[in-house]
Amino acid sequence: MSAISADDSMDDDVFESQDNAAALNKLKIIENNLEKKCNTPSPTGYRGYQPPAEVLKLCQTDILSDIEPVVHKTILLGDSGVGKTSILVKFDTGKFESGKFSATVGIGFTTKVVEVEQTKVKLQIWDTAGQERFRSVTHAYYRDAHALLLLYDVTNKTSFDNTRAWLGEIHEYAQDDVVIMLLGNKADCGSDRAVRREEGERLAREYNVTFMETSAKSGQNVDLAFHAIAKELKYRQTGQKDPNRFNVQDYVREQTQSSTQCPPCNY
């Protein structure tokens, strides 16, 4: 081992010993012991330096995974009774609570983190009131929204007809680049269906928005809807706008499952 030079960064009090030779000898012994523990030179320049265990652990993992993800504001819209709260609760808890929800008054929200290709996407999901008297309150939340999920009830033709008015309000109040998805909810209610799937698809093409049918009761496409939104927002956040890499409409089209025929719904 090479001799210790005057340029080495050591504590000054070591050299205040009355016996410098003994002090230097002690330092060499310490260095020898440290070098036995560390076979490679330390990038810090301090002989034998070993970073704390928690630092080594971070170096061996994806540090970015522990960083708080950006919050993406996502709003559920549509007439009263189309199942917005049921969809939100199903996605948030995995449960369907039949007939336990009264009409949402005003607005409320929950937050959920979605994993997209080993990246955390944090969705702040707002549940809005569908009644006309609360519409002005809902408008205030449009402007800074990153994604809007517009629901109608496939057993209620009026709720479907009203989606044009909702889409008009979205284009008036929301940002131009907001992600919009049209959801035909309660798709499990086969015999009670009043709106054909093709009608929803046609409307979505007219407004150039993503479409799928969902069911809070069976869980059909509920996770897919939010994961598709999260994936689109993740790609936008990272600046990956190459349409060949990801397109939310193509993704939904590929992933959407056939609607399950179930007995008439009671929600």
Q: 170, 169, 133, 131: which is closest to 148 by C-alpha?
A: 170
Q: Can you give the pLDDT at residue 148?
A: 95
Residue partners of 2: CB distance under 8 A and separation at least 6: none
Q: Distance between CA atoms of 13 and 11, rounded to whole angstroms?
A: 6
> Of 243, 256, 34, 234, which is closest to residue 122 (Cα–Cα)?
234
Q: Provide the pLDDT for residue 141.
A: 78
Tell me the C-alpha distance between 143 and 258, whole Å.
34
The pLDDT value given to residue 13: 42
| pTM > 0.75 | no
The beta-strand segments (E) located in 34-157 are 71-77, 107-116, 119-128, 147-153
Ranges assigned E (strand) in the chain: 71-77, 107-116, 119-128, 147-153, 179-185, 210-213
Asked whether the beta carbons of 89 and 95 are under 8 A apart, the reply is: yes
* Amino acid in position 214: T
Q: Where are the domains of the chain?
A: 13-50, 65-255
119 — phi, psi (to 5°)?
A: -120, 140
Helix axes 248-255, 222-237, angle to 10 degrees: 150
The two three-digit tokens of residue 33, written as one number: 């012991």
CB 193 within 8 A of CB 213: no
Tell me how far apart the alpha carbons of residues 113 and 142 are, in angstroms, rounded to a whole number.
21
**What average pLDDT does the structure give for the chain?**
74
Angle, in degrees to the nearest 10, between helices 163-173 and 197-207 = 20
> d(Cα 81, Cα 103) in Å, to the nearest integer?
7
Domain 65-255 has CATH 3.40.50.300: yes
Distance separating alpha carbons of residues 138 and 141, to the nearest angstrom: 6
Low-confidence stretches of the chain (pLDDT < 70) are 1-68, 98-108, 130-138, 239-249, 256-267
| CA 205 – CA 193 distance, rounded (Å) | 21
- pLDDT tens for each residue of 239-258: 655 545 556 667 777 776 44
For residues 235 and 177, what is the distance between their CA atoms, to the nearest angstrom? 13
For helices 222-237 and 84-93, the axis angle rounded to 10 degrees is: 80
- Residue 181: what pLDDT? 96
